[in-house]
Amino acid sequence: MSKDPAAAAVPAKNGMKRRSRVMVLFTLPVVLLYSAFFMVPMLLGVYYSLTNWTGIAKTYKFIGLKNYSTVLQDKRFWNAIFFNFKYTICLVIGVLVLSLLIALALNQLGKSSTVFRTIYFIPAVLSLVTVGLIWNELFLRAFPPVGKALGIGFLSTSLLGNPATAMFGILIVNLWQGCATPTVLFVAGLQSVPKDLYEAATIDGANAWQKFKNITIPFLIPIVTMLVITTTKGGLTIFDYIQAMTAGGPAQATEAIGILIYRHAMSEGKFAQSIAESMLLFVIVAIVSFGTIKLTNNKQVGED
């Protein structure tokens, strides 16, 4: 607490040293945990994917890239990838359209929308497994009698029991739960648009659609970008719903890549091969996320 700067200089220098040592200590727990339980398993995975380990056998050999070529020739793998892409495209479009519509409607009502906001957000806090199991029962027991009574063909049996419709069953559940957070984001985005912009546009004689297209949409683009990325990642790595509802069936119609990896590793003894699959999944997710960021960034520039 010396007031003389010269006398304070020496302890201050010591203090700086101690301070920087403490700062390094601050980072250590996270760095160590992350290295030991994220990086090491990841690198082990890369190594295992180059061997022929079954996961149970005591010995295994290094076989190079053979697992990868096996995977790339495996029909089941491509079937899973195709499912994931189909599903992800439907999911992204569904989430964006539905949550934007809900947000626009909520925004129309202004303050009287509080009750609706509370209700629409409930699904976001629930476990995917519980939600999946409840809808499973609904598809099985609640809808078929209604479908039969109304004579709607596709509803008279469980959506999940038919290979042609099973994906849409899962999609419905995912949308029921997955629109909650995007809706809140869109509402916040809509409220961030300055009111005087709309007023100025009205004076200039713009109609509702023109105002929406030229004022609202540009303000929402950053939110759309982010939602496309997060939803894409969610769609490509979908697991919980499928494991709880169809376990990949019927007839591998909903066997997503996550399910395939889990099955190959846990019940089919194709341990090393399943890791090769997961490494390919990583590459796909990375490329797709990167591509989406690039694409949507360009669009934003074009809009401006």
The upper half-sphere exposure of residue 203, i.e. CA atoms within 13 Å in the direction of its Cβ, equals 6
Stretch that binds another protein, among 39-47, 57-65, 68-76, 159-167 (CB under 8 A): 39-47
Q: Should residue 18 be labelled a site residue for another protein when binding is judged by CB under 8 A? A: yes
Per-residue binder mask for another protein (CB under 8 A), 164-203, x = binder:
------------x----x--xx--x---------------
In sequence order, the β-bridge partners of residue 62 are: 51
Amino acid at 119: I
- Contact between 130 and another protein by CB under 8 A: the answer reads yes
51-90 residues near another protein, rule: CB under 8 A? 55
Question: Binders of another protein: how many residues, by CB under 8 A?
Answer: 88
Among 90, 138, 197, 206, binds another protein (CB under 8 A): 138
Kindly list the distances between the CA atom of residue 78 and the CA atoms of 85, 258, 279, in Å, as whole numbers in the listed order: 10, 13, 15
Residue in 66, 168, 239, 296 binding another protein, rule: CB under 8 A = 239
User: Does residue 97 touch another protein according to CB under 8 A?
Assistant: no
Q: Which residues pair with 51 in a beta bridge?
A: 62
* Residue 287, H or E segment: helix 271-303
Phi, psi of 79 (to 5 degrees): -60, -45
Q: Which stretch binds another protein (CB under 8 A): 14-22, 69-77, 80-88, 151-159?
A: 14-22
Residue 298: CB minimum distance to another protein, A:
21
Q: Does 262 bind another protein (CB under 8 A)?
A: yes
Chain residues 103-122 in contact with another protein, contact rule CB under 8 A: 104-106, 108-109, 113, 116, 118-122
Helical axes 257-266 vs 75-109, angle rounded to 10°: 130
Helix (H) or strand (E) holding 206: none
Residue found by looking up tokens 């890549």 in the block: 257
Q: Is 235 in the site for another protein (CB under 8 A)?
A: no
The answer to whether 159 touches 231, Cβ cutoff 8 Å, is no
Task: Determine, following the binding rule CB under 8 A, whether residue 149 of this chain makes contact with another protein.
Answer: no
